[in-house]
Amino acid sequence: MTSTDVTALVERLWRAEAASMLGALSRRLGDFDLAEEALAEAVTAALKLWPDEGVPAQPTGWLVTTGWRKAIDRLRREAVGREKLARVGSEPPPAPGVDDRLAMIFACCHPDLSEASRVALTLYAASGLSTAEIAAAFLVPVPTMAQRLSRARKQLRDRGIRVELPDDPSARLPAVLAVIYLVFNEGYLSSGRSAHRRELAREGLDLARQLARMLPREPEVAGLTALLELHEARAATRFDSWGRLVLLEHQDRRRWDTALMERAAVRLRDAVRQGRTGPYQVQAGIAAMHAFAVSYEKTPWAEVRAMYDRLAALDGSPVVLLNRAVATRFAISPATALAEVDDLRDRLDGYHLWHAARADLLAALGRRDEARAAAERALELATNPAERELLSRRIADPGRPGPPPADLLA
């Protein structure tokens, strides 16, 4: 193979197997930084040797074994390292596998880490994205993201968080799922004009699918994966050719990925049959009702509203009640929905989508001046560029309502 071919192969291996390789070394060494540095040296060795010697039959195993030898050599050169070497032994770790990948994901998403650290580490170590790719996805300079990753590693080290499977994975699972959902949403809500942001959404979905394969008896993992797949099935219609956000009611349903929707529905049914309902399964159920409705007008709004009642019982967030009010508008009346929204003022007055939903309902009731004022307040509070552009359009056309809350936005 040529050097170019080897470079491309190593990049694919890193993207696909970074978590399991880093997990295999980190679990054995008890040191994420040492594992990362040793594996980087192994990659450098592969780029130098493989073009002439050929790619080994088990390239991932070769990288881990070579990385292990590099780490052992370093430990032997250091007094502290020799003490650690006495504890870990010199036998190389077995070939990396599912448990190593899972251990890495759980370590990156440890609840003791800050949210920014969890996201950065997960994308770097569990998804195999480079620092430059992560920086581009989050629209920050590469040095800024490098510093964020450095702080994340320091938090991992200072808190003594080991890369290992927790005794009770279910106790840490909510933190893992929350990070994966956040990664997906970071890309999904802002991907109209940025290929890097689009890649971020795909990485979130890929992480969810990996986790679903590794934890088939965890229904909430399947629920989150089905939810993301249902969103992803509509991705091609969420932005127009100018990169502007398209609301659900105006999307071309003929362009939705029906095969992906069906797979998500099967995944969700299998999860529900396990008899342990959680909020991600209910959210996926709501998304499925929207996905399989023949039109926006024929959405089963009364059933959607009932599902939000179930979700509110599991997650008392006021945002859940705000989204329920959107269904109330169609299931009962705009006036009833407005009363529900106004009841949330004390908790959501600083949330742009509360004002946007209120503008929508006021416009439906013919209260145009109040609707415009609410939409302008929503624009003041909004930070997402796509949402700001949409709100600006709606304000410029006061005869049209503003966008509804997040679940129905696009």
- pLDDT tens column, 247-300: 888 899 999 999 999 999 999 999 999 999 999 999 999 999 999 999 998 999
What's the predicted TM-score (pTM) here? Answer: 0.78
Task: Identify whether the C-beta of residue 319 lies closer than 8 Å to the C-beta of residue 293.
Answer: no
Cα–Cα dist 110/179, whole Å: 10
- How would residue 94 be classed by pLDDT, with cut points 50, 70 and 90? low
- pLDDT tens column, 382-410: 877 778 888 887 777 655 554 455 444 44
pLDDT at residue 154 in the model:
87
SS (H, E, C) 325-373: HHHHHHHCCHHHHHHHHHCCHHHHCCCHHHHHHHHHHHHHCCCHHHHHH
Cα–Cα dist 95/97, whole Å: 6
Cα–Cα dist 269/71, whole Å: 46
Phi and psi torsions of 375, nearest 5° = -65, -40
Tokens found for residue 50: 């493989």
How many other C-beta atoms lie within 10 A of the C-beta of residue 209? 16
Tokens found for residue 46: 């592969």
With CA atoms as reference, report the closest residue to 217 among 164, 172, 276, 158. 276
With CA atoms as reference, report the closest residue to 218 among 180, 260, 258, 257. 180
Q: What is the dihedral of CA 242, 248, 250, 254, to 10 degrees?
A: 90
Tokens found for residue 374: 């609410």
pLDDT at residue 240 in the model:
83
Tokens found for residue 364: 């439906």
SS (H, E, C) 266-320: HHHHHHHCCCCCCHHHHHHHHHHHHHHCCCCCCCCHHHHHHHHHHHHHHCCCHHH
Percent of the chain with pLDDT over 90: 38
* Strand-pair partners of 239: 245
Cα–Cα dist 308/405, whole Å: 13
With CA atoms as reference, report the closest residue to 108 among 26, 213, 189. 26
More confident residue, 347 or 31: 347
User: CA 274, 212, 315 angle in degrees (round to 5)?
Assistant: 60
- How would residue 315 be classed by pLDDT, with cut points 50, 70 and 90? confident
Cα–Cα dist 257/408, whole Å: 18
CA distances from 61 to 45, 65, 95 (A): 14, 6, 5
pLDDT at residue 10 in the model:
86
Task: Identify whether the C-beta of residue 214 lies closer than 8 Å to the C-beta of residue 98.
Answer: yes
How many alpha carbons fall within 13 Å on the CB side of residue 410?
22
